[in-house]
């Protein structure tokens, strides 16, 4: 069984901004997903960890079969995630981030993890850094597939010239996270 936890809306009470509920999926000392949408988190874990079987069924029927809600450990883990993020880290000490993706996605995520807190770079800069300067759209797709928001800070990637680009949870959320990092 994979553990999951979805925080209460006011989990970010030590920040000026409230980002809303956050969902984590993990087992043992391995984190599989960090994001702002419970259904998306569970669907991601089913596809990437369990495999494609049974995915056509509604998530509610699969939740009981594959997942165990663990509020106590989840709240502690979320505190560790926020402590790492506040410190500018892309990992939680003692925990592995299980990044499952293509080798291209892995390269992109590795580069995103290097972006310093409070700064942004463009999709084109990442494409050039990984040796694929013409793969700007593919970089954008890889950024959008990132399963570890905040720790692999995809919110720090924008269009060239710094214009705010899309974000899986909306541009307002992206602006709020960037604002919190700068303050």
DSSP string, 98-155: ---S-HHHHHHHHHHTTSPTT--EEHHHHHHHTT-TT-HHHHHHHHHT-SBTTTS-GG
- Which tokens hold the place of 89? 């880290």
Vertex 158: Cα angle to 152 and 163 (nearest 5)? 150
- Angstrom distance (rounded) from CA 109 to CA 106: 5
Q: Phi-psi region for residue 5, left (φ > 0), alpha (ψ -120 to 50) or beta? A: beta
Dihedral sign computed on CA atoms, order 72, 148, 163, 88: positive
Which residues on adjacent β-strands are paired with residue 4? 25, 69
Q: How many Å from the N-terminal Cα to the C-terminal Cα in the chain? A: 39
Residue positions annotated with a catalytic role:
154
């Amino acid at each position: 069984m994979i553990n999951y936890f979805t925080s209460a809306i006011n989990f970010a009470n030590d920040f000026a901004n409230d980002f809303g509920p956050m969902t984590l999926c993990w087992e043992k000392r391995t984190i599989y997903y960090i994001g702002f949408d419970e259904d998306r988190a569970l669907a991601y874990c089913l596809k990437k960890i369990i495999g494609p079987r049974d995915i056509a069924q509604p998530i509610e029927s699969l939740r009981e079969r594959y997942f165990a809600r663990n509020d106590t450990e989840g709240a502690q883990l979320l505190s560790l995630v926020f402590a790492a993020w506040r410190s500018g880290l892309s990992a939680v000490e003692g925990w592995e981030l299980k990044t499952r993706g293509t080798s291209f996605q892995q390269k992109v995520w590795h580069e995103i993890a290097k972006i310093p807190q409070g700064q942004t770079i463009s999709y084109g800069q990442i494409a050039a850094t990984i040796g694929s300067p013409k793969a700007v759209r593919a970089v954008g797709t890889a950024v959008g597939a990132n399963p570890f928001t905040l720790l692999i800070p995809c919110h720090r990637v924008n269009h060239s010239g710094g214009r705010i680009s899309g974000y899986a949870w909306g541009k307002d959320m992206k602006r709020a996270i960037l604002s919190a990092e700068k303050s």
